[in-house]
């Protein structure tokens, strides 16, 4: 969820977009989004696959692209993006968020696709892509409702000018602060997860 330029009021009532069934279901997924992807990785870990040097290289490239996108998003929005609460203090419309409205989720998609490629279970790629698309569709419906409740027309204007998923160069890019040091430090646990997963897939290649 983005956090940006105009301070938000302390308490706001939910708007109609935040009260839809899709948004309510998305709220449940949003609050549990940290562990929901875990079952998706069980199949690539346990099912035999064809692992080779080229799949490892492709996987590494995908993970690096995804983490670069994530890092740019966290640097712009701050570590507030890791919260599970409805509290959002500012609307970020610059940096990675000027290219698309959900850069962290776009980054996550690249990362998880990379690990599936590393597993060698390539038939699972379209299945995983579909599962993530469904998950993030509902999460974003909730987040967009929250941001509309808090920021109103300011968010609707940003929403109308910025694609949800597929990045494009912004027509009127605005600038804002980027906390790169804080972002890099906050991503340390994420990077450790990458290393652990990479090690698990290496062991799979050796012993399966």
Q: How do the pLDDT tens digits run along the chain, 208 residues long?
A: 544 454 545 567 888 888 999 999 999 999 887 777 777 788 898 888 888 999 999 999 999 999 999 999 999 988 665 555 566 667 889 999 999 999 999 999 999 999 999 999 999 999 999 988 999 999 999 999 999 998 999 999 999 999 999 999 988 767 888 989 999 998 998 899 899 988 988 888 888 7
Q: Map out the domains of the chain as residue ranges.
A: 16-207
The sign of the CA dihedral 99, 104, 108, 111 is: positive
Residues 31, 84: Cα–Cα separation, whole Å: 5
The CATH topology of domain 16-207 is: 1.20.120
- Position 116 scores a pLDDT of 93
- Position 172 scores a pLDDT of 76
- Position 13 scores a pLDDT of 82
Name the nearest CA neighbour of 40 among 117, 106, 148, 116: 116
Answer yes or no: are the C-beta atoms of 145 and 18 closer than 8 Å: yes
- Position 3 scores a pLDDT of 45
| Distance, C-alpha 168 to centroid of its chain | 17
Rg, Å, the chain Cα set: 18
The sign of the CA dihedral 166, 168, 171, 177 is: positive
Kindly give, in sequence order, each residue whose CB lies less than 8 Å from that of residue 55, ignoring residues fewer than 6 positions away.
Answer: 117, 118, 120, 122
């Amino acid at each position: 969820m983005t956090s940006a330029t105009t301070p938000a009021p302390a308490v706001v009532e939910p708007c109609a977009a935040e009260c839809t069934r899709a948004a309510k279901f998305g709220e449940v997924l949003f609050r549990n989004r940290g562990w929901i992807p875990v079952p998706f990785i069980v199949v690539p870990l346990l099912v035999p696959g064809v692992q080779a040097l080229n799949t490892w290289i492709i996987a590494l490239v995908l993970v690096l692209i995804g983490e670069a996108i994530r890092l740019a998003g966290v640097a712009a929005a701050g570590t507030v993006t890791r919260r599970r609460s409805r509290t959002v203090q500012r609307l970020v419309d610059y940096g990675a968020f000027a290219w698309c409205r959900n850069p962290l989720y776009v980054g996550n998609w690249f990362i998880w696709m990379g690990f599936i490629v590393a597993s060698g279970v390539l038939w699972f790629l379209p299945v995983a892509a579909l599962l993530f698309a469904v998950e993030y569709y509902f999460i974003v419906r909730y987040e967009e409702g929250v941001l509309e409740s808090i920021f109103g027309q300011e968010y609707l204007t940003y929403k109308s000018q910025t694609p949800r998923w597929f990045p494009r160069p912004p027509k009127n890019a605005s600038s804002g602060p980027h906390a790169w040091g804080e972002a890099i430090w906050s991503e340390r646990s994420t990077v450790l997860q990458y290393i652990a997963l990479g090690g698990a897939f290496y062991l799979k290649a050796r012993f399966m």
